[in-house]
Amino acid sequence: MNKITIHFEEADHETRVVEGDFKGIHLLDVVEDHGMHLSSNCGAVCACSTCHIYVESGMDSLKELSDNEEDFIDRAINPTLESRLGCQCEILDNDAEITITIPDQSDIIGHEH
Ligand code: FES
């Protein structure tokens, strides 16, 4: 079973933990399927940077960074070496422990919540 810990930069710095069998599922979908919000302006086709997240741990359990993803990460707000795009982070196994931080979504152009 996967354990995904999700920190939010926004508002009260909430942290959520979700568990389940997420192999083959992308982090963006895990977040949204559990009622949390992460922007995805391009519809999850790696053509924007609004689903930008920070992977604090568990990077080895995610599909490798592609050149295209890297290009869009460069256009994200405050990218770091831990930056990924949530829609491109496919979870590769079923016993991963992954910790991510979701940036403040109110900074995202097109943010509706
Ligand atoms: S939703 Fe646009 S790159 Fe992920």
User: Of 51, 41, 55, 58, which Cα lies nearest the Cα of 87?
Assistant: 51
- CA 15 – CA 90 distance, rounded (Å): 21
Give the pTM: 0.94
Q: What local confidence, expressed as pLDDT, does residue 13 receive?
A: 79
Strands 2-8 and 97-102: parallel
Across the 113 residues of the chain, what is the mean pLDDT of every consecutive 10-residue run? 94 89 98 95 96 98 97 96 98 96 85 53
The b/e string for 13-41 (b: 16+ C-beta within 10 A; e otherwise) is eeeeebeeebeeebbbbbbbeeeeebbbe
89 lines ligand 1 (CB under 6 A): no
Among the atoms of ligand 1, which is closest to the Cα of residue 40? 1
The 3-state DSSP class for residue 56 equals: strand
51 lines ligand 1 (CB under 6 A): yes
Q: What local confidence, expressed as pLDDT, does residue 59 receive?
A: 98
* Residue 86 domain-assigned (yes or no): yes
Q: What local confidence, expressed as pLDDT, does residue 111 receive?
A: 58
CATH number at residue 70: 3.10.20.30
The token duo for 12 is: 């009260």
Q: Which domain holds residue 53?
A: 2-104
Q: What local confidence, expressed as pLDDT, does residue 108 receive?
A: 80
| C-alpha of residue 44 to centroid of ligand 1, in Å | 4
* Residue 20 domain-assigned (yes or no): yes
Count of structural domains within the chain: 1
User: Which amino acid, 11?
Assistant: A
